[in-house]
Structure 1
Amino acid sequence: MKNPVTAIRLPLRPGREYESRFDREQSLLKMLAIPIASIVLASMVTTLPFLTTQPILPPFGLLMFLAWRLMRPGLLPVWSGVPFGLVDDLFSGQPFGSAGLLWSLAMLAIEVIDSRAIWRDYMQDWLIASLLIIIVLLGGLWIAGMAHAASDPIILLPQMLLSILLYPLVVRICARLDSWRLAT
């Protein structure tokens, strides 16, 4: 006697029940757009209405740029400091071209460190990023001082300290974005 209850199998995607999840092609748009968009959006944070008497808001665009470069060495080309820096100049109010110059010099410094270092760990990346954050902020103050009366560099201490302390959080955000970028 036949069983009156029969199971009806409806495939979710016809013809793909046994398709392998390995060796899939990644979306090239997703692979390239996520790092670019995250750096540009981080540079746009400076346009938020945040009023203080001294600079305290960290340069999130620079932090995101350094995090992507130190986390994924081959992802951004060496010349990428110029366009990202120019975009940051549009939003930060610095003299146009200052971040383009300073970010590209930071990228060249990282390339020199990468060519000489055998390996790096997280603490070394944090130290490299901290030194570059300090140099870029002081360089931006020096370039802005050529156009206007220069402030005392001591005014940048809270911004430098906050930027250095927030760098691990930015690396964590980059790692999440990178895992989403690499997911199929």
Structure 2
Amino acid sequence: MIPQGPKLGNHPSRFRLEGTPVITVMLGSMATALPVVVSSPVMPPFGLLLLLSWRLLRPELWQAWIALPLGLFDDVMSGQPLGSAMFLWTITLIGIDSTERQLYWRDYWQDWLIAAAAIIFCLSGGLLFARLTGGGGTMMLIAPQILWSVLLYPFVARQCAWLDRWRIMA
């Protein structure tokens, strides 16, 4: 038999439409549980990168409140103080919402600049939360993580675009 593509009138399931972005962000947050041994934080926060990619790719997909449960899951998986990602991710999504109201259109470079600012804000805020709860470190300690995260964002956004095409196919 010859495999056929999607038929007219078929729609993807609701779980596929709404669950794919949430599951990918959760899988990205679980990447911090991989057994990678390093002396300083260099692994990008994939949960944050996926959250930003989905939000900038599909602004209508999520409200700002989605950052609360996803941030809680990230806090639990990463070992950060509870509430840090919840707070920082929510503030980031609110900031992106307010920025989008002022822009009539966005292009690739503006998305990358918005994501870079959000990455710097969230990682610096995470360092501040860690310091407040007894952790240590300087900004120079997380500079490689910030650099890797900003440089990796276009690749993650491209993967989200590929997943989005799969997500909406019937």
2:127 to 119, 136, 141: 141
Structure 1, 83-92 or 149-158: larger mean CA deviation: 149-158
Q: Which residue of 1 aligns with 2:55?
A: 69
Is the partner of 1:86 in helix, strand or coil?
helix
2:37 to 51, 57, 60: 51
Paired residues for 1:1-184 under 5 Å: 21-184=7-170
Alpha-carbon offset, residue 176 of structure 1: 1.0
CA shift digits 1:95-141 (9 cap, x unpaired): 01100000000000000011111000011000000011001000000
* Partner AA of 1:161 in structure 2: L
Do the aligned partners of residues 82 and 66 (structure 1) sit closer, same or farther apart at CA in structure 2, a change above 3 Å counting?
Answer: same
Distance 1:104 1:69 in 2: 12
* Partner AA of 1:150 in structure 2: G
Q: TM-score, normalised by structure 2?
A: 0.94
Distance 1:181 1:123 in 2: 25
CA shift digits 1:13-52 (9 cap, x unpaired): xxxxxxx933433311110111011000010000000011
CA contact (8 A) 2:11 2:169 kept: no
Structure with the largest fraction of helix: 2
CA contact (8 A) 2:69 2:86 kept: yes
Structure 1 stretches of 5 or more lacking a match? 1-10, 13-19
Taking every aligned residue pair, what percent have the same amino acid on both sides?
43
Structure 2 stretches of 5 or more lacking a match? none
Larger radius of gyration: 1
Q: How many residues align?
A: 167
Q: Which residue of 2 aligns with 1:5?
A: none
Highest RCO, 1 vs 2 (Cα 8 Å, sep ≥ 6): 2
Q: TM-score, normalised by structure 1?
A: 0.87
